[in-house]
Amino acid sequence: MGLISEFKAFINRGNVMDLAVGVIIGGAFATITRSLTDDLIMPVVGFLFGGADFSGYFIRLGDIPAGFKGNPESYVDLKAAGVAMFGWGEFLTVLVNFLILAFIIFLLVRAVNRLMPKPEEAPAATPEEVMLLREIRDSLKK
């Protein structure tokens, strides 16, 4: 089998296409979750902790380079200038984003599992030795 035909057989498998669809939908879903976190949840958390932008909380570890033209209180400006920082606010935002995404996926999987019909439990296969012993028992009864 040639390389091209192997590749064609690989791509035509159903699970590869399902995976591609899942990745595309997952990317779109991540965008929605990011917006939920950045635009709705984190502003409320930031407001409760005294700041409008929670992701801007950081501890500067390095010195500001000479000729720095940005705002020395701006996480984005300092990060762009290459200043070493401990960006705990941004990390917290990403962590909350992950937890929200994981929880929503959990709820979706849970709902789908409830909608899917439960498979009928097939009787367990009887081992060959048990079948043989049953035949011997039945023969002895006769």
Asked if residue 115 is part of any domain, the answer here is yes
Q: CATH code at 113? A: 1.10.1200.120
**Inside any domain, residue 128:** no
Domain-located, residue 131: no
pLDDT tens profile 9-52: 777 776 777 788 888 988 888 888 788 877 887 778 777 776 65
Tell me the percentage of the chain whose pLDDT exceeds 70. 91
Please check whether residue 141 lies inside any domain of the structure: no
Does the pLDDT of residue 137 top 60, yes or no?
Answer: yes
3-state per-residue secondary structure call for 72-138: CCCHHHHHHCCCCEECHHHHHHHHHHHHHHHHHHHHHHHHHHHHCCCCCCCCCCCCHHHHHHHHHHH
Residue 22 resides in a domain: yes
pTM: 0.53
Q: How many domains does the chain have?
A: 1
Query: In a 3-state reduction of DSSP, which class is residue 85?
Result: strand
Are 77 and 70 in contact by the 8 Å Cβ rule? The answer is yes
Contact 64, 45 (CB under 8 A): no
Range of the domain at 35: 3-119
SS3 content of the chain, % helix, strand, coil (to 5): 65, 5, 30
Establish if 50 belongs to a structural domain.
Answer: yes
Q: How confident is the model at residue 3 (pLDDT cuts 50, 70, 90)?
A: confident
Is residue 134 assigned to a domain?
A: no
What percent of the chain has a predicted confidence (pLDDT) above 90? 2
Q: What is the pLDDT of residue 98?
A: 81
The answer for 63, left when phi > 0, alpha when psi is -120 to 50, beta otherwise, is: beta
Is 125 within the bounds of a domain? no
Mean local confidence (pLDDT), 69-81: 87
On the question of pLDDT at 125 being above 70, the answer is no
